[in-house]
């Protein structure tokens, strides 16, 4: 599903144009307070614009008009927000997910609950756990399971990497990539974690002070020096590769993990020392 924000005014943003491409993973990055969460909520249609239109798969929608079918929109786009604990009522994991499903009149709810827990790698023992006894990571997973159980076309995650350790981040990356490739989902993430974005995203929007300052394919964006001026951390692995390419003028491919990179370096250095002999 393709979502276009057309000439929208919201919060600090004026005349904002942004496209979430169908079946791609779009990342929104920016320093603290730049407006990432506002954009995430906008894309998820949970926040109304002051002005402007949505174009969803070619259909123009004005969220401020009276005949918008919000229920349909909630079907289409699911969001996991930052303030995890405020999105819950007291009760068990099972009750929480079932509640959401019943709101949308789903059938075979029990199976959907089990399937969604499986997807986020939580065992069935969690069904009867009280939400308030869960850790932040577990709450995030329950929120994600809740969104997945509704099976929306677009999944929006507002800064999901914050509570997660490396292992959990890797699992999330894998899950989201499967969602994209196997189930044709469109995915939007906001993040301050440059490595997470580097490993996951296809397309990146960089925002600063209520403006989109650049956008493009991920390697294209991370290669812009201007990022430093707006306080965005360029992953060191990219900086290193740029410097390496510039100094050594050899052909390494851009890599997003150290082990692949080491092989490239080793090969290059070997070749060079053979040349010397």
Partner 1 sequence: MSKIEIKKLSINYGKNEIFNNLSLNIKENSYTAIIGPSSSGKTTLFNEIIKKNKKIKINGNLNYILTDPNKQIVAKTVEKQLKFFLEMEGYTKRQINTRTNNIVAYFELDDILDLDPYKLSEGEKQLVVLCSILVLDLDILIMDNGLCRMNYNLKQKVLDYFKKLKKKKITIVNFASDVGEIVGSDYTILLDKKIVFNEKTKDVIKNNKLFEENNLELPFMLDITNKLKYYGLVKNNVKNVDELVDELWK
Q: Which residues bind partner 1 (CB under 8 A)?
A: 31-37, 82-83, 85, 133, 135-138, 159, 162-168, 192-195, 231-233, 235-237, 239-240, 243-244, 247-248, 258-259, 261-262, 265-266, 269
| Residue whose CB is less far from partner 1, 65 or 167 | 167
In the complex, what is the shortest distance from the CB of residue 90 to partner 1, in angstroms, rounded to a whole number? 16
CB of 104 to partner 1, least distance (A): 28
Query: Is the CB of 56 or the CB of 227 nearer to partner 1?
Result: 227
- Least Å distance, CB 173 to partner 1, is 13
Which is nearer to partner 1, 199 or 215 (by Cβ)? 199
**Which is nearer to partner 1, 59 or 273 (by Cβ)?**
273
Three-class SS of the chain: CCEEEEEEEECCEEEEEEEECCCCEEEEECCCCCCHHHHHHHHCCCCCCCEEEEEECCEEECCCCCCCCHHHHHHHEEEECCCHHHHCCCCEHHHHHHHHHHHCCCCCHHHHHHHHHHHCCCCHHHHHCEHHHCCHHHHHHHHHHHHHHHCCCEEEEECCCCCCCHHHHHHHHHHHHHHHHCCCCEEEEEECCHHHHHHHCCEEEEEECCEEEEEEEHHHHHCCHHHHCCCCCCCHHHHHHHHHHHHHCCCCCCCCCHHHHHHHHHHHHHHHHHHHC
State in angstroms the smallest separation of the CB of 108 from partner 1: 30
Closer residue to partner 1, CB minimum distance, 108 or 258:
258
Question: Least distance to partner 1 from the beta carbon of 15, Å?
Answer: 22
């Amino acid at each position: 599903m393709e979502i276009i924000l057309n000439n929208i005014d919201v919060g600090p943003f004026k005349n904002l144009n942004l496209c979430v491409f169908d079946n791609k993973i779009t990342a929104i990055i920016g320093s603290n307070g730049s407006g990432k969460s506002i954009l995430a909520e906008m894309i998820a249609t949970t926040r109304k614009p002051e002005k402007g239109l949505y174009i969803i798969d070619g259909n123009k929608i004005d969220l401020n008009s009276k005949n918008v079918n919000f229920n349909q929109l909630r079907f289409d786009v699911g969001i996991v927000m930052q303030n995890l604990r405020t999105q819950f009522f007291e009760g068990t994991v099972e009750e929480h997910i079932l509640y959401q499903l019943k709101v949308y009149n789903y059938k075979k709810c029990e199976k959907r609950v089990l399937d969604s827990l499986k997807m986020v790698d939580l065992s069935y023992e969690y069904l009867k756990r009280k939400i308030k006894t869960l850790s932040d990571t577990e709450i995030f997973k329950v929120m994600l399971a809740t969104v997945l159980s509704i099976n929306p076309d677009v999944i929006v995650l507002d800064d999901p990497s914050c509570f997660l350790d490396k292992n959990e981040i890797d699992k999330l990356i894998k899950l989201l990539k499967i969602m994209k490739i196997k189930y044709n989902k469109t995915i939007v993430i906001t993040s301050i974690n440059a490595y997470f974005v580097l490993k996951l995203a296809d397309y990146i929007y960089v925002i600063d002070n209520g403006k989109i300052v650049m956008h493009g394919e991920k390697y294209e964006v991370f290669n812009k020096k201007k990022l430093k001026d707006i306080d965005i951390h360029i992953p060191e692995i990219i900086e290193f590769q740029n410097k390496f390419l510039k100094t050594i003028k050899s052909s390494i491919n851009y890599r997003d993990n150290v082990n692949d990179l080491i092989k490239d370096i080793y090969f290059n250095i070997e070749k060079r020392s053979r040349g010397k002999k």
